[in-house]
Amino acid sequence: GAGVSQSPRYKVAKRGQDVALRCDPISGHVSLFWYQQALGQGPEFLTYFQNEAQLDKSGLPSDRFFAERPEGSVSTLKIQRTQQEDSAVYLCASGLKTGNWNEQFFGPGTRLTVL
């Protein structure tokens, strides 16, 4: 079956522009996570959904970052008034929590460059 897909794969934005990054999780996966990965670093947690409910947004760096998953499947991460420090790869992961197992499967990421 299809894995997690993300679009666009690459995005170049001018400082101050708004951007929207899309994630299509694996069908049937209840959990959806967004991570930010700077060059040479590990992924850093941004936010987490279970179905349409955003259960944890403690990792969002500022109120310019907003995520939604209105119907419990596709999710969008929106960044308003982009800044240069927002340049990173944004990874989406979906997960199927079965009992104690909570595997996460990652999409290819969107590389955002803010000029």
Partner 1 sequence: QQPVQSPQAVILREGEDAVINCSSSKALYSVHWYRQKHGEAPVFLMILLKGGEQKGHDKISASFNEKKQQSSLYLTASQLSYSGTYFCGTEYPTDKLIFGTGTRLQVFP
Site for partner 1 in 56-75 (CB under 8 A): 56, 59
Q: Identify which of 101, 84, 97, 88 has the alpha carbon closest to the alpha carbon of residue 34.
A: 88
Pick the closest to residue 88 from 77, 73, 96 (CA basis).
77
Q: Per CB under 8 A, which region of 18-26, 30-38, 65-73, 79-87 contacts partner 1?
A: 30-38
For residue 98, the minimal CB distance to partner 1 (Å) is 10
CB of 72 to partner 1, least distance (A): 16
Tokens coding 25: 């999780």
Show Cβ contacts of residue 39 under 8 Å, excluding neighbours closer than 6 positions.
Answer: 88
Q: Which residues in this chain contact partner 1 in the complex, by CB under 8 A? A: 4, 31, 33, 35, 41-45, 48, 50, 55-56, 59, 91, 95, 97, 100-109
